[in-house]
Amino acid sequence: MRRAWKRAGLVLLAGLALVCGAVVVQSQRHPPLDPYRSLTLPEAPSGAAVRVRFAGTTTLLFEDGETAWMTDGFFSRPSFPAVALGRIAPDPAAIDSGLKRLDVTRLAAVVPVHSHYDHAMDAPLVAQRTGALLIGSGSTLNVGRGLGLGEDRLREVRPGDSVTLGRFTLRFVASRHSPTPFTDGTTVETIDAPLVPPARFNAWREGQCWSLLVEHAAGGRWLVQGSAGFIPGALSGQHADTVFLGVGTLGKKDTAYRTAYWNEVVKAVGARRVIPIHWDAFWVPLDQPLVAMPLLGDDFETTMHDLQARATRDGVEVRMAPTFTRFVP
């Protein structure tokens, strides 16, 4: 009997070793980006009315020569071990470097698409450095308060609200986060007091997720869908020429979910172009080339195959945003 228990223990240990080994391997495997290089949008001509620049994850800089504003402003990108095992905080040097690469000195607003750390953690420091308003949910504003941003620099918005920034109009539509092991995609956990970093990554609770509709007076309508979640019918009756489509974890979803997401976001607004965002491993510093999320957490190859098939069927163009380079959205 003792020998049998010993043999069973060895088998169990061997199984655990195999599982751990598989986890380590998958955490280091990143789908290649080379197959999608030809989809990269060209640099914007100097006379373009609206230009956008992409800085990884869901950080997008919109500008028209008069007004500039930014979603998220996430530049710190703490390492995976720091996120998993320690406490994290904004990295001022990384933020300054990111703003310099974007040629940003002044912003009208910083608008996190929700309040997780990879969207809202840096936003108050970006606002401080650029004279911007921090615009978002009550949870996002508590991130700002925790970093000492004054009340005159905070603007709370609720579902259905619109904000005018120069010739841009932003409309905030309630949405949901993609279901993950950390977020069920339905429950909204809020930040109910000023969040003072450093803190564990899960202190940056989701708050309200936004589908952010953007319109410019010179023409053009865009949708920033920061997470691969949705509320059925929420975007019905809305229009956008281009969707900046959050695709994080989409490659691990089943066909039914991907179909619903496409229908409720891309088809609902009648978009003719889709630009994937939130596909990169957001703990890789921005002084290194962006890489796709590792296969342990997502499958960008599956995502792109699925998007391109749906786009071909529905007459939609799939393009990739260049990093830090102005392009026409």
Query: Can you give the pLDDT at residue 187?
Result: 84
What confidence score (pLDDT) does residue 257 get?
Answer: 98
* Domains within the chain, CATH numbers bracketed: 50-318 (3.60.15.10)
pLDDT of residue 165: 98
Cβ atoms within 10 Å, residue 254? 7
Give the list of residues 6+ apart from residue 274 with CB closer than 8 angstroms, or none: 242, 243, 245, 266, 307, 311, 316, 317, 318, 319
Please confirm whether the linkage preceding 78 is cis (ω < 30° from 0): no
Per the listing, tokens 């080994």 go with: 21
Digit-by-digit pLDDT tens for the chain (329 residues) are 556 555 544 444 433 333 333 333 344 578 999 999 999 999 999 889 999 999 999 999 999 999 999 999 999 999 999 999 999 999 999 999 999 999 999 999 999 999 999 999 999 999 999 999 999 999 999 999 999 999 999 999 999 999 999 999 999 999 999 988 777 778 889 999 999 999 999 999 999 999 999 999 999 999 999 999 999 999 999 999 999 999 999 999 999 999 999 999 999 999 999 999 999 999 999 999 999 999 988 999 999 999 999 999 999 999 999 999 999 99
What is the dihedral angle through the alpha carbons of 252, 185, 163, 147, rounded to the nearest 10 degrees? -100
